[in-house]
Amino acid sequence: MKRLLSVLLAVLIVASLSVSAVSAAKNSDPLASIDTSITSDAITDASVVLSEPKDDVILSSDLKSFKGKFAARISAFKALRIDCNAKWSQLKGFNASIKTAWTTLKTKLNAMNDKKASKKISQALNTTLSPFRADIKASHASIKILRASKKAEWINFRTAIKAKDEAKASAALENITTLKTQIIEKQGLLISAKQNILYAITEATK
């Protein structure tokens, strides 16, 4: 029994070391790292795009509440929503351009005879992209928080409408507009980071 346990322990140790070695190899591969980051960022953007409109559904009852007193504010909010959606489309375009540029560069790097030089280029690029990816993660984290707050304010707004509390409904709608504006500002930071990523990849391809 002791011998069997010793054998099993040895097998587990070897397996663990193998997994660690594979993991380390992946982490040390700048091409794989860049591949993962580009794909991950695009997926995150896409998931936000799909769920954003669901948070901002404007009901016909919202437009009729208090005999149209909120019509002007809701109209202004709709304009913000159009701007927000346009920026998500812009980000989608940048993701497509980044993917194309990266595919071109990766093909070039893989075709290089000097593998050390190829790895040096990809390592330098990975280092350059790192702060931009950090900005992207921070912006998405902020957007997530802002959207949660906005969703809660929509609940407050409709609760106030049902209670015929004009002051609370007005305050909630003002908060919704402010939060939407802040989300658009974060989108601007995302766009800036994507522009920098695209530029860095394009320059590395030259």
Instruction: Quote the pLDDT of residue 51.
Output: 65
Q: Dihedrals φ, ψ of 56, to 5°?
A: -115, 35
91 pLDDT band, cuts 50/70/90, is: very high
Per DSSP, the chain holds a count of helices (H) and strands (E) of 6, 0
Instruction: Quote the pLDDT of residue 7.
Output: 44
Q: What is the pLDDT of residues 96-146, one digit of tens each?
A: 999 999 999 999 999 999 989 999 999 999 999 999 999 999 999 999 999
What does each C-alpha distance from 174 to 24, 26, 150, 154, 164 come to in angstroms? 50, 48, 10, 11, 17
Q: What is the pLDDT of residues 44-61, one digit of tens each?
A: 888 777 666 677 887 877
For the chain, give the mean pLDDT.
Answer: 84
Instruction: Quote the pLDDT of residue 146.
Output: 95
Instruction: Quote the pLDDT of residue 5.
Output: 44
